[in-house]
């Protein structure tokens, strides 16, 4: 098993990779622009549809740059999603609540139901509980909490991953 490093080192490495890629793209674009300028200066042949060709080349270049940017963003999103999935899986595997944490989960569930009497089931394999009061059920297992709070933990993890 290979140790990856701290979250900060991973973020730094990702930022460094992104900066290098941006620098490479900037150089490539600058070289292409310079080559086009030199070509224009040395060309002495008058082309009948020069303006329409230049306009088409500009559009093609803009489309190519936009496509590269889109592919870069898509790759970054895919990497972030894969990273988030790994973090969540590791956290889920490591979750072993203490007695105090389990009591807090039970308290939260009973407070949400607001019933005087309830039945509490501790779910050992998931490290949580399910509280039933009459026909109302509050699932406070790790999976249920993860789904219920997904927007919050996803936002927090996305902030950590931000390049």
pLDDT digits (tens, 9 = 90+) for 31-61: 999 988 888 877 766 778 888 989 999 999 9
- Paired tokens of 87: 């973090």
Question: 136-140 and 119-123: which strand pairing?
Answer: unpaired
What is the structure's pLDDT at 58? 95
How distant, in Å, are the alpha carbons of 39, 101, 152, 157 from that of 48?
17, 78, 60, 57
Low-confidence ranges of the chain (pLDDT < 50): 1
pTM above 0.75, yes or no: no
């Amino acid at each position: 098993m290979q140790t990856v490093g701290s979250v900060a080192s991973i973020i730094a490495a990702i930022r460094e990779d992104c900066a290098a890629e941006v620098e490479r793209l900037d150089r490539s674009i600058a070289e292409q622009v310079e080559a086009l300028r030199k070509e224009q200066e040395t060309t002495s042949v008058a082309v009948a549809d020069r303006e329409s060709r230049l306009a088409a080349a500009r559009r093609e270049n803009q489309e190519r740059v936009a496509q590269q940017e889109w592919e870069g963003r898509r790759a970054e999103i895919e990497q972030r999603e894969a990273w988030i999935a790994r973090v969540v899986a590791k956290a889920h595997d490591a979750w072993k609540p203490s007695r105090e944490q389990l009591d807090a989960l039970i308290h939260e569930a009973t407070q949400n139901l607001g019933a005087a009497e309830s039945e509490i089931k501790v779910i050992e394999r998931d490290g949580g509980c399910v509280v039933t009061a009459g026909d109302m059920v509050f699932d406070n297992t790790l999976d249920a909490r993860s789904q219920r709070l997904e927007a919050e933990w996803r936002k927090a993890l996305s902030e950590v991953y931000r390049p």
